[in-house]
Amino acid sequence: MAHPGRALRHPFPPPVNDSHATPDEWLKALPGRAARHFRLLRLLAPLTGALIVAQAWLLARIVDSAAFAGEALDSLTPWLLALLPVILLRFLAQWRSERLADLAAAQVKRELRDELIERIAQAGPVHLANQQSGRLAAGLIDAVEAIDPFLARYLPARILMGMVPLVILMVVLPTDWISGIVLLVTAPLVPLFMTLIGRQAERLNQRQWRELARMGGYFLNVLQALPTLKMFNASRREGTRIARVSEDFRRSTMQVLRVAFLTSAVLEFLAAISIALIAVFIGFRLLDGEMAFFHGFFVLLLAPEFYQPLRNFGVQNHARMEAVAAAEQIGRILSLPITSPQSTATTAADDYSGTLSVQGVYFAYGDDRTVLEDLSLEIAPREHLAVVGRSGAGKSTLVNLLLGFIEPDEGSILVGDRPLNACSLAAWRGHIGWVPQRARLFHGSVADNIRLGAPDASMTQVRRAAEAAHALAFIERLPEGFDTLVGEGGQGLSGGQVQRIALARALVRRPDWLLLDEPTAHLDHETERAILETIEALRGRCGIVTIAHRLETLRRADRILVMDRARIVQSGTFEELSRAPGPFAELLHDPAEILP
């Protein structure tokens, strides 16, 4: 069965109409995001070359006049005064070039991070479930930072390499054709050797980045599982593994650095030999009187300046290789599958309070494992529907479809008479209260966590929501009440307290629909009864869909859907289903599925 919308996009979506962009092609397109800055850099490059020539000419003129023409200091003053602004202008051109490159890199990194975060948000929790948090963090932070040297150092170096040597060569050739030929012959050797050595360095860089991503993901997983590792006396063993992985990464890093240093040494050697060769040719002709000192010294001053951009480009080529490897990690995030784009149209609040219909829905994950097959149901606006079934029956997938985290491969979901994929997803979620089985709290105050879905909620509304969720009593006992800071993931609170704050967070929005994944899973019996009474009090005010694993939750529902093997196999009230033989009756007698 075909599953539209499930195919992975190419890992490197290019800014141009090319669906087969490689990491190199993707990197080449990045400067287009800061085109104005790089246009100015290209204008400054020939200006820099002209200033280098002017500086060398003035220096040669001053030394020649003082040492061989015997001119007095007074007569050299105009040349010295002319030299100072040239040096200053060269410094300013270099400073401005570096500043433009840094601004361009900052702009591109900012846009790239925004795109990556947006892609992660578009992927949603379902597609992120199989992703290591450490790998994602490495892509968002380390990989994007690795793009900085490519934009701020490598690309400016490439621009200068293409302009400055050309300007110098155009001046040297008519001045001393022999030195010009030496420059012309030796210049291609630099990129040639750089390419030969760079291939090995590029492979090492890519391997290093893969190791970094694996190490980051593994290290974060170990930190998150530290209590479990301590419980089973496995923390030392995992610490030893981390040390071994870190040592392997250190060795691979040193391999990359050795190749980088080798590249620099080879380029320095080639440049030194070439300059020495020019100096020898000029020296012999000066001794034979075949060349004026002014011209010889002028060319000799320009020779190092000719090779400097080439050497710098070779050194910065390491930044390009690192960026290519980093682009591979960025591509993993950009290739995360996303649902079809949602409509941006706004809809009035009452448009979301109609009947919620699921019509002929099919859904399968990437491995073609069908989890929903020809699913059809209707949920009345103020109905309390409980969904029950064995593990893997498709209950969570149904809720994820209703939340818009995924889209059906076939079929449709309607809110009233309007398809959900024609609604504004942000607006639709604004009318949903969601409490997952393992609620997530963020670092911040208790009030901030409750206001997460309703930032403009007043303190009175926050207190009412907390009271409705039976969280007010314990919150007021905290050191600073609603202003008490909680750690990431709800550190400092019990599981039941976290769940009650999550319920308050859902209620403060005054939702039209409340989706619950067994909200009483981590609560004691007394708090469980209080929460169920809160949910009971919401009947008639909003639609409620609960994934149920507790008997009391099922008893309180208006209607129960029983799912098995991707289908709805039974539907009815608790009394109807419990008296009839079938899957529901079997579940009632299975303590692993329905808790008393």
d(CA 493, CA 251): 42
End-to-end CA distance of the chain: 40
The first and second tokens of residue 245, run together, are 């992985």
The first and second tokens of residue 225, run together, are 């599982």
Please, what is the Cα angle at 106 between 105 and 107, to 5 degrees? 90
Is the separation of the CB atoms in 49 and 167 below 8 Å? yes
**How does DSSP assign 363-378, residue by residue?**
EE-TT--EEEEEEEEE
Q: What pLDDT is attached to residue 213?
A: 63
d(CA 485, CA 487): 7
Q: What pLDDT is attached to residue 521?
A: 65
Residue 78's contacts (CB-CB under 8 Å, 6 or more residues apart) are: none
- Helix, strand, coil percent content, the chain, rounded in steps of 5: 65, 10, 25
d(CA 242, CA 253): 16
3-class state of residue 457 by DSSP: coil
Which of 199, 191, 202 lies closest to 271 in space, CA to CA? 191
d(CA 411, CA 493): 42
3-class state of residue 412 by DSSP: strand
Instruction: Quote the DSSP letter at residue 405.
Output: S
Q: Beta strand pairing status for 410-415 and 418-419?
A: antiparallel
Backbone angles phi, psi at 152, to 5 degrees: -90, -20
d(CA 151, CA 147): 6
The number of beta carbons lying within 10 Å of the beta carbon of residue 482 is 19
Q: What pLDDT is attached to residue 351?
A: 61
Residue 277's contacts (CB-CB under 8 Å, 6 or more residues apart) are: 182, 186
**How does DSSP assign 537-581, residue by residue?**
HHTTTSEEEEE--BHHHHHH-SEEEEEETTEEEEEE-HHHHHHS-
Backbone angles phi, psi at 595, to 5 degrees: -90, 145
Q: What pLDDT is attached to residue 200?
A: 62
The number of beta carbons lying within 10 Å of the beta carbon of residue 546 is 27
The first and second tokens of residue 30, run together, are 């990045």
| CB-side neighbour CA atoms (13 Å) of 13 | 12
Domains and CATH numbers, the chain: 23-334 (1.20.1560.10), 440-510 (3.40.50.300)
CA-based torsion, 496, 497, 502, 508: positive or negative: positive
Q: What pLDDT is attached to residue 11?
A: 43
The number of beta carbons lying within 10 Å of the beta carbon of residue 540 is 10
Is the separation of the CB atoms in 44 and 93 below 8 Å? yes
Residues 504-538 as b or e (16 or more Cβ within 10 Å = b)? bbbbbbbbbbbbbbbbbbbbeeebbebbbebbeeb
Residue 567's contacts (CB-CB under 8 Å, 6 or more residues apart) are: 373, 374, 375
pTM of the prediction?
0.70
Q: Beta strand pairing status for 567-572 and 559-564?
A: antiparallel
The number of beta carbons lying within 10 Å of the beta carbon of residue 172 is 26
Per-residue confidence in pLDDT tens, the chain, 596 aa: 334 333 333 344 444 334 456 777 888 888 888 899 999 999 999 999 999 999 999 999 999 888 877 777 778 888 889 999 999 999 999 999 999 999 999 999 999 988 888 888 777 777 776 676 667 777 778 888 888 989 999 999 999 988 999 999 999 999 999 988 988 888 887 777 766 666 666 666 666 666 666 666 667 677 766 767 766 677 777 778 878 877 777 777 777 677 767 777 777 788 888 888 899 989 888 888 888 899 999 999 999 999 889 888 877 877 887 788 788 778 878 887 776 545 444 444 446 777 888 888 888 876 667 888 888 888 888 888 888 888 878 888 888 888 888 888 888 888 888 888 777 777 888 888 888 877 888 888 889 999 987 888 899 999 998 888 888 888 888 888 888 888 776 677 877 788 888 889 988 888 888 898 877 766 677 777 777 887 888 877 888 888 887 777 788 888 988 888 888 888 888 888 888 888 888 887 766 555 55
Q: What pLDDT is attached to residue 216?
A: 67
